[in-house]
């Protein structure tokens, strides 16, 4: 299974209220994937009304990314074993990926 940054995957995502099967976006790179047995993901939520933080982003092209309803990226980041990815449902558009990268820069200090 080839997983790239920007892929939308289905995982059992650990959260504040336990583990929930849900879509997530892969944010780790191909270089990371060739050297590590895990994948770094961030949550995708359909609760768009609550996606109001500066690091949240409502996907513009959610349908073409393989999602069933309007969804938002949240900078809730986890590292999971690659075998925890249950399926790949699509990939975010270039415009959505650029906006997600901007939100990641707001959430994580890498400068």
Segment 46-64, tens digit of pLDDT: 999 999 999 999 999 999 9
- Domain 7-107, architecture per CATH: Roll (2.30)
The pLDDT of residue 103 is above 80: yes
Mean local confidence (pLDDT), 35-39: 94
What does the pLDDT read at residue 78? Answer: 93
Q: Residue 25: name the closest of 84, 73, 70 by CA.
A: 73
- Residue 70, pLDDT > 70, answer yes
Parallel/antiparallel/unpaired status of strands 7-15 and 18-26:
antiparallel
SS3 44: strand
The DSSP bridge partners found for residue 22 are 11
Percent of the chain that is helix, strand, coil (3-state, to 5): 25, 40, 35
pLDDT confidence of residue 28: 96
């Amino acid at each position: 299974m080839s997983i790239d940054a920007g892929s939308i995957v289905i995982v059992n995502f650990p959260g504040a209220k336990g583990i929930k099967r849900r879509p997530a976006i892969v944010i780790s790179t191909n270089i990371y994937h060739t050297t590590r047995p895990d994948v770094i993901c961030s949550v995708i939520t359909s609760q768009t009304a609550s996606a109001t933080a500066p690091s949240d982003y409502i996907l513009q092209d959610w349908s073409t990314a393989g999602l069933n309803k309007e969804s938002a990226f949240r900078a809730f980041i986890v590292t999971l074993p690659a075998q925890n990815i249950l399926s790949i449902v699509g990939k975010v558009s270039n415009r959505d990926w650029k906006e997600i990268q901007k939100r990641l820069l707001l959430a994580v200090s890498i400068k």
